[in-house]
Structure 1
């Protein structure tokens, strides 16, 4: 083959090529992001509409049906599901496979905008969203200080939350819990009736007095000055002294007819960390951001410590006077990073084991080393392809790298064995390297292409499963093709320079180990051959063998049918943590939900294996977190102690659920 001839005669070209590929692969590795699983899209669009105070029946007739009618003409619809709750309408549109979700999201927005005027006046603008894994918070931060809850919430909302939102890669930061400040005006109905005023008139006067608007400009020969009327209310006292003219022409003040006080909004969500009230900051990353990098940036924004552990910069330093302390309650990127590190560790073990096996079967340290060169050269260069394809280091791509380790040496083994055969024929190592590689070029290419054609259709297909497996398949294809290139270039070149015939002596230490292994392998192959001879000896043994094979086949099907072997879309991941969601009757108040959740928390904390619990009352992670109709829901994120707990979290959660059935009445 021409490429093999070039590699042997002009190796500088091949050396430069693989130096470039190796350096490019190392650079690409540093640019790749970390994810737990590959990004995949579920073709679902959700339309969420808030109608404050409306009953489920009113929501269905006034909102849900009109939105369903509006989106009914949308293309590629598979099915439409709607849910009408108190104060909120949720319409879920499932699209066909292959549908352009982004285009249909825009089209659905246009169709809904056309019927907005037909909705009741109090209805909030419908919000459309598509399903994404990035809709789940990657971090939860618990904030404490010496301020009151109202002052702390105001500080977080106006000063600290925007600091985290400006971090590169952060999509949004949500505030959960706390007491939000609200200026409350309680009007005395008897007093306004005595003055001949109505509630709507008072409301219009207050609204009109709290406006800023431009009034024009004044121009002279030298300059031009813009004039604006600043009418915003700046203090409670100013609002109390707001003048109001009655229909009789008498001027009174707002304090004469109403009680104005600095209060708090009605609490809709409560957050706790280990049963202690707190305010949670939930950090969401952008779809193309690296979760690990975002997590590190958030931690640096919280506080940067010197060698002595003293805070030298960050939010905690800037607000030290308020004793602001921010605790990372939960960080999903830690599990992602640990999972990736574990797979990389397993990958290193696999490479070592492959090298160990090559040493025993090739019976030459030199040949095993030449063969093993194919693994790092192919794996490192594969990162270039992953970066160009926009992939990340996740369980699928890393699994592909682990699986392909054994495949990468296949081509090199075949090439080296044939070169070795030619050297045994009396050829010099240069001639043997060229003839040996050229002779089996078609065979080795066919071996590689068989692997490629298995994974290529999956990588090119569409659908949910194909989206998840695409990175796995492409990783295998790229690394396998690179191993083919290595086997026809680097392997013949190395053998033409360093290869030689080796005969192991049975007297040497290494020779005794290799010959002992070969003796054991021969004994095993003779036992298998004897088993085959027995199976084919007579017609009785043939029938017995056939029935045994059929019996094992049917037994395997029975194991699946009887449920001994289950099925799941994703294998369960043992993170030593799980979520507990409580749901009460739809008319339950936030206080009742909170009380029942506190009972659950007290029971959980009595368990010795529980390390930490993060509680949110008034929302749950079922896609309705921001709706007003979730005051009857709560969620407890239970984190087990990874050092002491050795059981199965699924079994633990099932037992916990059974224990609660008779204790948490009403949930």
Structure 2
């Protein structure tokens, strides 16, 4: 590819113009890049949610869950089916491989579910939903105001929602926590019976009135007018005046009023009753821009809402995104400055430094343009990749420029020096860059969450490195022609100038320090290799002390607190317990805002049953807060509370995959009693494992309920059945929905009731059942008693299961998981029961396995590229030795910095595979060139090491210094991915560079020297035949060098 340098020098103005155009295009494209916290990911899961109000979990399982599971078995591409049957709802989670088209799979699931619709109980309407990271809210607001909360909710709907929906890039705006209102008709039996009004006559009257019927068209002169008969009921007064019989209106036999539904949840923000406003961005929306525009509108909206109305952000992506972008940009800029200073120190020339440094902005801009073209966003992954790339993109330019500068220093004519300098290193530069880029190709083979998360990272680094290669072979030669100056000859010949430059090189401090080392290493080869083996053994020993984890938390300010009271606790009891935690949060200056939601829907908004024994807190810490310490303090303070139930202070909500410390064991068994026993054994094992806290089983809780068992023999005498009694009891609590009515511009359900719902078991027993001859009490035809049943029933792939979960309290999640697995292996489980370690342990095991495979593939790709470069199999094997020694520094620095080996660190190891062979390629390529010129093996090794010492050290030190701000976490933002990666790369570069300059030349001398000596013996035995063979293979004697020193035939 050295022709690029010749072409560029012939068209210097064009090259400069193209570079300026690229920079200008980047200035236009870069501001339009979408900014996110994380890349857009579509989760490989869909949910089938089927509400069945009032049904117990076992009934839901038999009548809803199992039929849906059976229907889904025929859908292709599904991996797992997990179901949860709770009171009043069924939720079936379907998982499939990453990369599966979400729309296609959800359509198939919906079709399968629709097919079995007639088999499901009446009123059960399953819905299929799927999501991605784009469904996460861009911003969540808490809305508070004193006074009538229903009127305030109406204000939010009519004022705030339209204003926010008008912001560019907003997809949806949803107000949560609003208590719906229904039109409730309470029939008075004493007045209704004499007037002949029953539920049937009332239903018929409502259906026959309040409708608009198109009757036809009437001709009025030259106009054609449509005829509409009837009209919608305008409001509650129309409903009250509705004639239900010739002698009675509805208002005369019943009360008609707008009544809020029974309260099943409470939301407060900073101690005040509140509503939530969630704003999600469209796929092309910019979360930062949306957030900033919404924040600008808040003051005006608060004024428009009046009173003491307040709109407070409790979750906002923008600050995290902006802080991460700003911090990583700062670290990248510091890295750039450090890299440039290193180059300046080595080259001692401002001109040369500026020529080299130009590759950094050019390569970064090209990478950003590639992100824009590929519709990638600017997020902590792509920004981290650019920051890391800053230290690498300068390498090619350093090698090229250093060689150009050396030839200029020999007094050669400028253009000849530039072309010669480029030509000598082109092969090595291309090969070394391709090996670094090639290691990212296996990222495409990494499946699951890690592969999806890091694919934009790999693309960004690869594009930046390829851009740096092109810049080094085009822009750098042109700038060198314009700005570099050859030394003044002072009347000396070119040979004299070159000799003086070579002597100056040998007298430099670096050369004086290195030459004795390389000469000793190549002379005492066995001792050098033995020392290398000792280092390798120590590396393996040190690896056993490494901590391991999946991903660190993201260092964000938001985290959660979960509170659970005994099952059956009512809303008032849970509310009182939640206030104790609110009091603690209010007393912490490091807490900026907090929101609590008491009571949660098992159906997640799709009509599921309500549980009133839980409270969930969303806590936002101040910018300067130490979140980990704050969480620890909260755990201590909440743990001292009495009567507050089980409290779990969660991890910071920053890990891209969710909680990064959650451990879970899935238990499966054929029989319910075996499942219970096995789950208890697992729970005890987890509780006894050091480093695990907050252990709980989803089988541990049972929910109290009232069972009404109809005595069929007695009920039949009154003409009642199970279904008839069930409808009457359900009507007493939920009423009977008759129709919908528009009230104040909103559609409301019209619900018929026959009185207040029974408030106790005794009132339920006394519930009158209408039968011929007069009403009869419920307990006259049925047994009414309190019992206990499962809170929920979980099934995995059709088999009942349980989940025992806990939280890893230490940083070494891998060691904790290993300890737990050993304890699980020692359990004596009931026959047919199985346990599987899941949660973050399974995620970590899968990620490590996938990345381990990616490393093997990367090594194979690197080896193939080197074989093609050197046209030899032996020499690439020598180069691969530098890879395991890169682990020496990486492991040592991980141990010194107490950094865990997680997915980001493994990505750093993957990068090292390509990086560490770069210097070895540059070194070996020059050694081979010297041997082609006739040098002996040892002379070529020593001379090659001497000549490549400065560029190798320059590239390594420049990369290390560029990554130093990131490794130190100078800004502290976005470091959960970039910091471990930078630590690994720095440590690996330090050790591999030192060993490249010593061990690789030593091994080269051993292998090639042996071949050289073997050839010498053959030549001594049959000089004529050897001469003929040498001539046939294209070798040529050079000057006084011996024939055995020539190695072209070997290559």
**Contact 1:173–1:283 (CA under 8 A) maintained in structure 2:** yes
Structure 1: distance between partners of 2:511 and 2:208: 97
1:410 matched residue in structure 2: 395
Deviations, residues 473-510 of structure 1 (Å, cap 9, x unaligned): 1111111111111111111111111102469xxxxxxx
Q: Residues 605-644 of structure 1 correspond to what in structure 2 (within 5 A)? A: 605-619=586-600, 624=604, 627-632=607-612, 633-643=614-624
Within 5 Å, give how 1:195-274 maps onto structure 2.
195-229=195-229, 231-245=231-245, 250-274=246-270
What residue is the counterpart of 1:362 in the other structure?
A: 347
TM-score (norm 1): 0.86
Residues 470-619 of structure 1: pairs in structure 2 closer than 5 A: 470-501=455-486, 529=517, 549-557=536-544, 559-560=545-546, 565-568=547-550, 570-619=551-600
Q: What is the Cα deviation at residue 112 of structure 1?
A: 0.9
Check conservation: 1:178, 1:271, Cα contact below 8 A: no
Deviation at 1:340, TM superposition (A): 1.4
Q: How many angstroms does 1:552 deviate by?
A: 4.5
Separation in structure 2 between the aligned mates of residue 525 and residue 651 of structure 1, nearest angstrom: 52
In 2, the alpha carbon distance for the partners of 1:294 and 1:416 equals 46
Alignment of 1:130-169 (within 5 A): 130-145=130-145, 148-169=148-169
Equivalent residue number for residue 930 of structure 2: none
Is 1:278 aligned with 2:260? no
Aligned position for 1:308: none
> Measured at CA, do residues 448 and 645 of structure 1 come closer, stay the same or move farther in structure 2, by a change above 3 Å?
closer
Deviation string, structure 1 residues 158-182 (Cα, Å, up to 9, x no partner): 4432443343332322222244333
Partner of 1:398: 383
CA contact (8 A) 2:314 2:620 kept: no
Contact 1:140 1:329 in 2 (8 A): yes
What's the offset of the Cα at 1:2?
3.0
Does 1:463 pair with 2:463?
no
Looking at structure 2, the residues matched to 337 and 301 of structure 1 have their Cα atoms a distance apart, in angstroms, of 19
**Secondary structure at 1:42 match in 2:** strand
Q: Distance in 1 between matches of 2:632 and 2:508?
A: 47
Contact 2:209 2:230 in 1 (8 A): no
What is the SS of the residue equivalent to 2:549?
A: coil
CA 1:498–1:3: 2 relative to 1, 3 Å: same
2:31 match: 30
Contact in 2 for aligned 1:459/1:474 (Cα 8 Å): no
8 A Cα contact 1:141 1:329, kept in partner? yes
SS of match in other structure, 1:618: strand
Distance 1:59 1:582 in 2: 26
1:95 corresponds in structure 2 to 96
Residue 616 of structure 1 deviates from its aligned partner by 1.7
Q: Against the structure 1 CA distance between its residues 593 and 199, is the aligned structure 2 distance closer, same or farther, given a 3 Å change threshold?
A: farther
Structure 1 range deviating more: 22-31 or 196-205: 196-205
Q: Secondary structure at the match of 1:184?
A: strand
Contact 2:54 / 2:609 at 8 angstroms: preserved in 1? no
1:580 is paired with a residue whose SS is strand
Unaligned runs of 5+ residues in structure 2 are: 489-503, 648-1051
Q: Using the TM superposition, give the Cα deviation of residue 378 of structure 1 relative to its aligned residue in structure 2, in angstroms.
A: 1.0
Q: Distance in 2 between matches of 1:644 and 1:396?
A: 24
Residues 1:665 and 2:656 aligned together: no
SS of aligned partner of 1:643: coil
2:244 and 2:144 mapped to 1: Cα distance? Answer: 42
Contact 1:176 1:269 in 2 (8 A): no
Match of 1:121 in 2: 122
- Give 3-state SS (helix, strand or coil) of 1:440's partner: helix
Change (3 A) 1:523 1:589: farther
- Deviations 1:364-385 (Å, cap 9, x if unpaired)? 1110110001001111121111
Matched, 1:346 2:342: no
Q: CA RMSD in A?
A: 3.1
* CA separation of 1:266 and 1:522: change in aligned 2, threshold 3 A: farther
| Aligned with 1:454 (options 439, 442, 451) | 439
Q: Deviations over 1:528-563 (max 9, x none)?
A: 959997x97997x99788556524522321x24xxx
Q: Given the superposition, is the C-alpha separation of residues 19 and 301 from structure 1 closer, same or farther in structure 2, using an over 3 Å criterion?
A: same
Q: 2:283 aligns with which of 263, 284, 287?
A: 287
- Per-residue CA distance 1:44-78 (angstroms, 9 max, x = gap): 11111111222212211121111111111011221
5 Å-filtered alignment, 1:371-382, equals 371-382=356-367
Partner SS state of residue 623, structure 2: coil
**Which region of structure 1 is more displaced relative to structure 2, 359-368 or 575-584?**
575-584
CA change 1:630–1:183 in 2 (3 A) is closer
Which of 592-601 and 456-465 deviates more? 456-465
Contact 1:359 1:365 in 2 (8 A): yes
**1: distance between equivalents of 2:112 and 2:519?**
72
**Structure having the higher Rg:** 2
How many angstroms does 1:464 deviate by? 2.5
| Between 582-591 and 426-435, the greater mean CA deviation after superposition | 582-591
Higher mean displacement: 593-602 or 359-368: 593-602
Q: Is the Cα–Cα contact under 8 Å of residues 41 and 134 in structure 2 kept in the other structure?
A: no
Q: Deviations over 1:243-287 (max 9, x none)?
A: 111xxxx42111221112232222233221101011211222233
CA deviation after TM superposition for structure 1 residue 221, in Å: 4.5
**Alpha-carbon shift at residue 242 of structure 1 (Å):** 1.6
1:101–1:177: structure 2 CA closer, same or farther, 3 Å change rule? closer
Task: Confirm or deny: 8 A CA contact 1:429 1:497 kept in the other structure.
Answer: no
CA displacement 1:580-616 (0-9 Å, x = unmatched): 1223455443333333222221233233432221112
Decide whether aligned partners of structure 1 residues 359 and 547 sit closer, same or farther in structure 2, where only a CA change above 3 A counts. Answer: closer
Partner of 1:419: 404
**Match of 2:320?**
335
**Contact 1:146-1:323 at 8 Å conserved across structures:** yes
Give a deviation string over 1:6-49, Cα, whole Å, max 9, x none. 32222122122112211121222111111112122331111111
Deviation, 1:339, is 1.1
> Take 1:548 and 1:460, find their aligned partners in 2: how far apart are those partners?
32
Deviates more, 1:433-442 or 1:49-58: 433-442
Distance 1:119 1:23 in 2: 62
**Helix, strand or coil for the counterpart of 1:271?**
strand
Cross-structure match for 1:507: none
Distance 1:548 1:362, change over 3 A: closer
332 and 265 in structure 1: CA distance in 2 versus 1, 3 angstrom threshold: same
How far is 1:414 from its partner? 1.0
> Is the CA contact (8 Å cut-off) linking 2:91 and 2:603 kept in structure 1?
no
> In 2 relative to 1, CA 291–603 (structure 1 residues): closer, same or farther, beyond 3 Å?
same
Distance 1:104 1:599 in 2: 45
Note the residue ranges of structure 1 that are not aligned, 5 or more in a row: 304-310, 504-514
Distance in 1 (CA, whole Å) between partners of 2:148 and 2:59 is 39
How far off is 1:454 after superposition?
0.8
State the Cα distance separating 1:449 from its structure 2 match: 0.8
Distance change in 2, residues 1:344/1:544 (3 Å): closer
Deviation, structure 1 residue 90 = 0.2
Q: Distance in 2 between matches of 1:630 and 1:330?
A: 25
Task: Name which of structure 1's ranges 404-413 and 462-471 shifts more when overlaid on structure 2.
Answer: 462-471
Instruction: Label 1:99 to 1:538 Cα distance change in 2 as closer, same or farther (>3 A).
Output: closer
Give the count of matched residue pairs: 628
